[in-house]
Amino acid sequence: MVLQLRRRKKPYDPFKTWKMKTKIHCNKCGFEKVSDFQRFDYVCMKVSDKRAKHKKCDGDVEITGIWYEYNETPEEKKWKEYERRFH
Ligand SMILES: [Zn+2]
């Protein structure tokens, strides 16, 4: 069963495999949060959409970082588990 998993290949889909993340920072209290990337986000931008105000302190929110994160598929997770155990 495990060997079958290795042979099966899915077409590579970068949009499913890589996910863009945005870090937002509250200028008033220093609160930081990682959220999904929204279109037109860039570093040092003052956020003006629904994330614009920090709910707890009403401070302005700014973007401090944008990066790509690798999104493991369930199959890859299974494989890592397997390799940890037997290699
Ligand atoms: Zn705040």
Query: Is 32 a residue whose pLDDT tops 60?
Result: yes
Half-sphere exposure of 2 (CA within 13 A, CB side): 8
For the chain, what are the domain ranges? 15-72
Please tell me the distance between residue 53's alpha carbon and the centre of ligand 1 in angstroms: 8
* Amino acid 18: pLDDT: 85
What is the per-residue pLDDT across 37-87, written as a single tens digit (0 to 9) for each?
A: 999 999 999 998 888 999 999 999 999 999 998 888 888 889 999 999 886
Confidence category of residue 4, pLDDT binned at 50, 70, 90: low
Confidence category of residue 23, pLDDT binned at 50, 70, 90: very high
Please tell me the distance between residue 81's alpha carbon and the centre of ligand 1 in angstroms: 39
Query: Is 7 a residue whose pLDDT tops 70?
Result: no
Is the pTM above the cut of 0.75?
A: no
* 86 vs 25: which has the higher pLDDT: 25
Please tell me the distance between residue 46's alpha carbon and the centre of ligand 1 in angstroms: 14
Give residue 30's Cα distance to chain centre. Answer: 21
Please tell me the distance between residue 5's alpha carbon and the centre of ligand 1 in angstroms: 47
Please tell me the distance between residue 54's alpha carbon and the centre of ligand 1 in angstroms: 5
The CA–CA distances, whole Å, from 49 to 13, 22, 34, 53 equal 29, 14, 15, 9
